[in-house]
Structures are given as C-alpha cells and as structure tokens.
Structure 1
Amino acid sequence: MTFVVTDKCVLCKYTDCVEVCPVDCFHEGAKSLVIDPDECIDCALCEPECPIEAILSEDDVKDKRIIDINSKLSKIWPTITKKKEPLTEAEKWKNVDGKIKYLEEYL
C-alpha cells in the first residue's frame, strides 16, 4: 500500500506535506503534486499535513485512475522537498470536485 495525491490537490497545490516526507517522494507539476508509489514507504506522515485532505491511502481512493496518474506523472515531474505558497486561486478551487481531467491531459 502507498499514499497518493488525489485530484483535490489540482489547482490548489498546497505543499505542507512535502517537508515531512522522509523519502522525498513528492513530485511537482504546474497544477498539482503527485506521490511516486515506488518511493513512498507508507509512513503516513504526509496525510494529516494536507489542509484539504487531498492525500489518501491507495486503498481508500474511489477513482482508481488517480493511482495510475500518480505513478506516471511522478516519473516525469521533478521532486519537491520544500514548502511553497499554494496556487493563487487555491481557495476558489479547494472544494471543486472532478478535477481529475486537469491531470489526465498530461498522460
């Protein structure tokens, strides 16, 4: 089991989670973060750090496409290890559902 960043992160990109990760498994795209499932050690330190609850255990993910998206995008996006400011319109987007379409365009 691993943790994944769900599409709740899209267009928000809060990065509170990245600094607590002991194995630097977060990767950053323009609109979101993802977790590399091959690097994640299932420590769960990141999950409570996300202010919008966008990180879940892969067993708790309803839309399984997000697992594949994390896996694929983590191979091409750069690693992020330091907290940054969220995207400027994060407050507007944080409760919007169905944002997976903004990640699928990268696949």
Structure 2
Amino acid sequence: MTYVIAQPCIDVKDRACVDECPVDCIYEGPRMLYIQPDECVDCGACEPVCPQEAIFYEDDLPAESFSFVAISVDLFAGLGSPGGAANFGPLTVDHPVVAATETGQA
C-alpha cells in the first residue's frame, strides 16, 4: 500500500507535502503532484500538511478518487523509480487523464 495524491491537487500544487516527505518521493508534473508508489515508505508525513486534503492512504481513498491509484502507477511505469524528485527534476508531462481533466473534475 502507498499514499496517493488525488484530484484536489490538480492545478493547485501547494508543495507543503514535498517539503515534508522524508524520502523525496513526490514528483511535480505540470498540473499536479504525484507520489511514486515504489519509493513511498508509507510514513504518512505528507497527508496532514496538505491544505487541499488531496492525499490519502490508498485504502482510505474515496470511491471517486480510486482511479488515481492507477494514474500514479501508470505514470511511473515508464519512468521506473527515478530515485528522488529533487535529483530527477519536474516531470515534463502529466498522466493523460490529468492532462485532459478540466479543473476540479476527474
């Protein structure tokens, strides 16, 4: 299991979670932030600092946000485990679902 960032992050990207993450597993895309599921150690430090309440433990995701599990997995399928967002830098693309989402929808 892992933590997942869901639709409330789209076009907001507050980044408080990035500063709090001890393993640097939160990557920035053009429209939202993503947690790399293989790098996340399930510490939960990111969840309480998110002002958008966009971060959920995978088992606690609301039904309307469950697609974001697959979105995170799919996004990193081609990248693998880059080994830390700070060293890797911003992602150049969002997942296609996120890229096509109108603000506030998913």
TM-score by shorter chain over 0.5:
yes
- For 1:1-107, list aligned pairs within 5 A: 1-61=1-61, 62=63, 63-74=65-76, 76=79, 79-80=85-86, 103=98, 105=100
The equivalent of 1:93 in structure 2 is none
- List alignment gaps of at least 5 residues for structure 2: 88-95, 101-106
Q: CA RMSD in A?
A: 2.5
- List alignment gaps of at least 5 residues for structure 1: 82-100
Percent of pairs with identical residues: 41
Asked if 1 retains the 8 angstrom alpha-carbon contact of 2:3 and 2:37, the reply is yes
State the TM-score, normalized to the length of structure 2. 0.70
> SS at the partner of 2:4?
strand
Greater RCO structure (CA 8 Å; 6+ sep): 1
How far off is 1:36 after superposition? Answer: 0.7
* Number of residue-to-residue matches in the alignment: 87
Cα deviation, 1:10-63, whole Å, max 9, x if unaligned, reads 011110000111111101111000101101000000001100100000111123
State the TM-score, normalized to the length of structure 1. 0.70
